[in-house]
Amino acid sequence: MQLENTAQSTLVGTKSSSTELGGSIKAGSGKKFDRKNRLLFYNRFFKIACIASAAFVCLILFSILFFMFRTGILTFRDVSPMTFFFSSDWSPENESYGAFIFIFGTFALTLLTLLISVPLSVIIAVFLAEIAPKWMRNLLRPVLDLLVGIPSVVYGFLGMTILIPLLRDLTGTNMGDGILAAAIVLTIMVLPTISRISDDAISVVPRKYRDASYALGATRFQTIFKVIIPAARSGIMYAVILGMARAIGETMAVVMVIGNTPQLADALFKPTSVLTSNIVMQIANVPFDSTWNNALYMMGFLLLVISLLMIVIVRLFQRKGAQQ
Amino acid sequence: MRAAASGSGGAFSSGKGLNKVKNRTFTVFVWGISSCIVLFICALLFLILQKGLPHLTWDFIMGLPSEMEEGGGIGPALFNSFYMLVISLAISIPLGMAAGIYLAEFAPSNKLIGFVRICVEGLASVPSIIFGLFGIALFVEMFQIGLTIIGGAVSLAFLNLPVMTRVTEEAIRAVPKEVKQASFALGATHLQTIRRVLVPSAISGIVTGICLVAGRAFGESAVIILTAGVTTSGEMWDFNLLSPGETLAVHLWYVQSEAIVPDAVSISDKAAAVLVFVILMFNVVFRIPLWIKDRKNK
């Protein structure tokens, strides 16, 4: 900032003297709005435009919070919070709005996804950062980055056409849909995200830690488990939370394999429903100012609060990481 | 490093046999798991492309979808995908970049700006379906325009805005201080410095971000289902902003789960292949030139 002012005043200085020199030419054109003012105007205008854009981004977040809350809170005119959160009877046709099944389903699905995906992702991250030869690393990192960008509906489509028939054959049940199928599809989706961020976290562990560990006679196995993973812990946690946020909010891939039936997810192969899938399947068919619609918005608001809470947790982790 | 580790194991091998075995097992285990997973995921993508691409015809890519008979195409859906992508990028790139430039260049470091950063980060992690619900509340209820292309495109832009902001901020922050100071020393104003020096230096990061955002906008389906609907206007090259705007990603879901056409499987195979192909193309076309440039600079 300081530097900019000095630079500008220098510019102004040279400018004014040249105006005096070229005064006769200048008078002919008669321009009031000369170069200096124009530049100052552009600079100021640009800064204001930038501030407005930043404010606009915040405004979106607050209007989303406001809209979701305003519509969602109307649910509690007709349904008590106790019923909404703890009753597992969701039949809007008969005026019963218990969302417990979906809340439970979301948490169960996320937990199951993390159980499968975290160990696998950490293994891939260790492989990429520590074990793989250099050419393989250079090949695999861009490939994983590409996989992050594959649309979720494609993963859902794969789950529907390949995974579910496979699960049916393997288990002999006649229903492949359910929480296990959804967790496997989500695992494939979040795996590139978690492993790439953990890979970055492991790569920035200082080299001297490794050297010290090897100098003490540790094997690579011991070095990785006793030194490198503990050192990269906060980065790996960050990756896991990001993956978790993605798993909680994922809609289309889940809709296609979970079965969309409002029953409690107490078995791996039982068609069920989670918050996101229930919202997307029902919202199109309900009038806007019905209790049903309000209840769906309340479920959305719940998702919103969960995802914002996770950001706060990530922030805390980062602060802790910075202090270390 | 491996030579060093196994060397020390060899020198003191008495009593260290177990550790050596563990180390070996672990290495083999990690190699096995990683190659299996990576091969598996790549095989899935390959499978999609291989099942769909050889059967593609112009009639399918440009043709109109049909509700009942075989032989429907994906023309309007594909067109809507690109149309909405362009509109949403036209909104999210300038706004997102401006906000990112503000956070990287102008913003003082105080509590308020810290809060703005948390807002941006928070908005980036909001699930896409929430943007869909917000789009319904805004466009369908408040403005009463129904399920339209413009509603879908603006909701998509909102979804991508925070990502664009963060990517731009990080890319501009990564430009070395000396470059910026040199520009100021030459007498450039702040705007000139940003336009001629900072943005060109950060272009690699920004383009990567745009790729990410474009891929996300092209493949997003939950937002579109809620704000633009699951039907098209039924004609090709329909530029009307107020017609319903089903995109290719939505069409893939719709054909597979709701439609009653007899050749649903073949349509969705081909649609999935087109979808993946376009996303891969985005990355190849935009990233390879940058990649080559980075290679040259090193």
Give CA–CA dist B203/A6, Å, rounded. Answer: 28
Assess whether pLDDT exceeds 50 at residue B229.
yes
For residues A288-292, give the mean pLDDT.
84
B225: contact with A, CB 8 A cutoff? yes
Best probe of the A interface among B84, B134, B250, B268, by most A CBs < 10 A, is B134
Instruction: Return the C-alpha torsion angle A142, A144, A148, A150, nearest 10.
Output: 90
- A49, part of any domain: no
The answer to whether A296 and A221 are in contact (CB under 8 A) is: no
Assess whether pLDDT exceeds 70 at residue B6.
no
pLDDT at residue A121, as a whole number: 93
Give the pLDDT confidence of A71-100 residue by residue, as tens digits: 889 888 888 888 888 888 888 888 888 888
The answer to whether B202 and B174 are in contact (CB under 8 A) is: yes
Contacts of B190 in chain A (CB under 8 A): 4, 43, 47
Using CA coordinates, name the residue in chain B closest to A141. Answer: B38
Domain count, chain B: 2
Give the pLDDT confidence of A127-137 residue by residue, as tens digits: 999 888 888 88
The answer to whether B230 and B254 are in contact (CB under 8 A) is: yes
DSSP class of residue A259 equals B
Selecting from B119, B129, B158 the residue whose C-beta is nearest the C-beta of A280 gives: B129
Assess whether pLDDT exceeds 90 at residue B156.
yes
Assess whether pLDDT exceeds 90 at residue A260.
no
Give CA–CA dist B58/B64, Å, rounded. Answer: 11
How far does the CA of residue A214 sit from the closest CA of chain B (Å)?
7
Contacts of A248 (CB under 8 A, 6+ apart): A106, A110, A276, A303, A306, A307, A310, B127
Using CA coordinates, name the residue in chain B closest to A41. Answer: B191
Best probe of the B interface among A6, A35, A36, A60, by most B CBs < 10 A, is A60
Percent of chain A topping pLDDT 90: 27
Q: Quote the ipTM score.
A: 0.84
Residue B211's identity, in one-letter code, is C
Assess whether pLDDT exceeds 70 at residue A21.
no
- A26, part of any domain: no
Residue scoring higher pLDDT (A123 or B256): A123
Residue B23's identity, in one-letter code, is N
- A298, part of any domain: yes
- A198, part of any domain: yes
Selecting from B23, B33, B226 the residue whose C-beta is nearest the C-beta of A219 gives: B23
Best probe of the B interface among A2, A36, A141, A157, by most B CBs < 10 A, is A157
How far does the CA of residue A154 sit from the closest CA of chain B (Å)?
6
How far does the CA of residue A94 sit from the closest CA of chain B (Å)?
24
- A177, part of any domain: yes
Give CA–CA dist A218/A212, Å, rounded. Answer: 9
Query: How many Cβ atoms from other residues are within 10 Å of residue B154's Cβ?
Result: 21
Percent of chain B topping pLDDT 70: 93
Give CA–CA dist B290/B206, Å, rounded. Answer: 11
**End residue of a domain, out of B55, B71, B89:** B55
- A196, part of any domain: yes
pLDDT band at B4 (very low <50, low <70, confident <90, very high): very low
Are the beta carbons of B219 and A149 separated by less than 8 Å? yes
- A246, part of any domain: yes
For residues B127-138, give the mean pLDDT.
91
User: Do B29 and B128 lie in a common domain?
Assistant: no
User: Do B145 and B265 lie in a common domain?
Assistant: yes
Give the pLDDT confidence of B28-83 residue by residue, as tens digits: 988 898 889 888 888 888 888 888 888 888 878 877 877 667 777 788 888 889 99
Contacts of A183 (CB under 8 A, 6+ apart): A109, A112, A113, A116
How far does the CA of residue A29 sit from the closest CA of chain B (Å)?
25
User: Do B197 and B72 lie in a common domain?
Assistant: yes
Assess whether pLDDT exceeds 80 at residue B178.
yes
- A54, part of any domain: no
Residue A69's identity, in one-letter code, is F
Give CA–CA dist B137/B143, Å, rounded. Answer: 9
Could you write out the DSSP letters of every residue in A62-83? HHHHHHHHHHHHTHHHHS-HHH
For residues A202-213, give the mean pLDDT.
91
**End residue of a domain, out of B40, B55, B70:** B55
User: Do B70 and B133 lie in a common domain?
Assistant: yes
pLDDT band at A31 (very low <50, low <70, confident <90, very high): low
User: Do B186 and B169 lie in a common domain?
Assistant: yes
Give the pLDDT confidence of A298-315 residue by residue, as tens digits: 999 999 999 999 888 888
What's the domain range around B290? 62-297
pLDDT at residue A17, as a whole number: 43
* A55, A286, B79, B220, B235 from B85: Cα distances, Å: 24, 28, 10, 10, 19
User: Do B217 and B248 lie in a common domain?
Assistant: yes
Of B264, B262, B244, whose CA–CA distance to B253 is shortest? B264
How far does the CA of residue B63 sit from the closest CA of chain A (Å)?
22
User: Do B142 and B237 lie in a common domain?
Assistant: yes
Residue scoring higher pLDDT (B78 or B264): B78
Q: How many CB pairs under 8 A join A and B?
A: 278
pLDDT at residue B15, as a whole number: 52
User: Do B38 and B182 lie in a common domain?
Assistant: no
Return left, alpha or beta for A164; rule: phi > 0 is left, psi -120 to 50 is alpha, else beta: alpha
Contacts of A97 (CB under 8 A, 6+ apart): A75, A78, A79, A83, A84, A87, A90, A291, A292, A295
Selecting from A10, A42, A123 the residue whose C-beta is nearest the C-beta of B34 gives: A123
Q: In A163-284, which residue ranges form alpha helices assigned H by DSSP?
A: 164-171, 179-203, 207-215, 220-222, 229-231, 233-249, 252-258, 275-282
pLDDT at residue B298, as a whole number: 57
User: Do B206 and B115 lie in a common domain?
Assistant: yes
Best probe of the A interface among B16, B21, B102, B164, by most A CBs < 10 A, is B102
Assess whether pLDDT exceeds 90 at residue A59.
yes
User: Do B51 and B67 lie in a common domain?
Assistant: no
Q: Taking the mean position of all CA atoms in its chain, how far away is CA B140?
A: 26
Give CA–CA dist A164/A94, Å, rounded. Answer: 32
Of the ranges A49-58, A146-155, B137-146, the best mean pLDDT one: A49-58
pLDDT at residue A58, as a whole number: 92
Which CATH number is A298's domain given? 1.10.3720.10
Query: How many Cβ atoms from other residues are within 10 Å of residue A15's Cβ?
Result: 15
User: Do B183 and B204 lie in a common domain?
Assistant: yes
Selecting from A68, A162, A252 the residue whose C-beta is nearest the C-beta of B133 gives: A68
> Strands A90-91 and A96-97: what pairing?
antiparallel
How far does the CA of residue B240 sit from the closest CA of chain A (Å)?
23
pLDDT at residue A5, as a whole number: 47
Mean pLDDT of chain B: 84
Domain count, chain A: 1
Tokens of B62: 């440009």
Give CA–CA dist B226/A300, Å, rounded. Answer: 13
Are the beta carbons of A214 and B20 separated by less than 8 Å? no
Of A161, A158, A166, A159, whose CA–CA distance to A183 is shortest? A159
pLDDT band at B16 (very low <50, low <70, confident <90, very high): low
The answer to whether A321 and A197 are in contact (CB under 8 A) is: no
Q: In terms of residues, how long is chain A?
A: 324
DSSP class of residue B174 equals T
* A5, A73, A74, A89, A124 from A79: Cα distances, Å: 61, 10, 9, 12, 47
Give CA–CA dist A160/B257, Å, rounded. Answer: 10
Selecting from A120, A132, A221 the residue whose C-beta is nearest the C-beta of B37 gives: A120
pLDDT at residue A179, as a whole number: 87
pLDDT at residue A212, as a whole number: 93
Are the beta carbons of A43 and B190 separated by less than 8 Å? yes
Assess whether pLDDT exceeds 70 at residue A274.
yes
For residues A144-156, give the mean pLDDT.
87
The answer to whether A148 and B58 are in contact (CB under 8 A) is: no
End-to-end CA distance of chain A: 31
Residue scoring higher pLDDT (B205 or A172): B205
What's the domain range around A141? 82-323
User: Do B47 and B68 lie in a common domain?
Assistant: no
- Grouping H, G, I as helix, E, B as strand and the rest as coil, residue A270 is coil
Are the beta carbons of B38 and A210 separated by less than 8 Å? no
pLDDT at residue A15, as a whole number: 43
For residues A17-41, give the mean pLDDT.
61
Which CATH number is B76's domain given? 1.10.3720.10
